Amino acid sequence: MVKISVTNLAGQTSEIEAEVGLSLMENIRNNDFDDLAAICGGCCSCCTCHVFVDEESYEKLTEMDEDEQYLLEDSENYHAGTSRLSCQIEVDDSMGGMKVTIAPEA
């Protein structure tokens, strides 16, 4: 378990105990953040699991693949350097202290 801070669409921030090995999306959903629709269930085809990751943590993440990049760049809320699809991030022990903000749906 690692502590990750999650901010919802209303601007309220909570700290969750994220389970290593699950995706960031699954961890956010498991902690009752209904703002994160994640309607494709993690298949990288909907962009409704879009989050903004704090810049320091973003730099440490594995690079996104072409499908993720394409979906994000098509979103009007895309911000280079912070935007990721949370279903494409597998939580690991290095992610403690990460801060994520759920992005508005485009």
Give the interface with ligand FES as residue ranges (CB under 6 A).
25, 38, 40, 42-49, 85, 87
Choose between 57 and 88: whose C-beta lies nearer to ligand FES.
88
List the one residue out of 17, 9, 99 whose CA is nearest residue 84: 99
Contact 35, 18 (CB under 8 A): no
b/e string for 2-22 if b means 16 or more Cβ within 10 A?
bebebbeeeeeeeebebeeee
Q: How far is the CB of 49 from ligand FES (least distance, A)?
A: 3
- Number of residues that make up the chain: 106
Hunting for tokens 């902690």 — which residue is that?
A: 31
Choose between 22 and 44: whose C-beta lies nearer to ligand FES.
44
Q: How far is the CB of 62 from ligand FES (least distance, A)?
A: 15
Q: How far is the CB of 36 from ligand FES (least distance, A)?
A: 8
List the one residue out of 21, 30, 34 whose CA is nearest residue 105: 34
Q: How far is the CB of 22 from ligand FES (least distance, A)?
A: 13
Choose between 72 and 95: whose C-beta lies nearer to ligand FES.
72
Choose between 16 and 47: whose C-beta lies nearer to ligand FES.
47
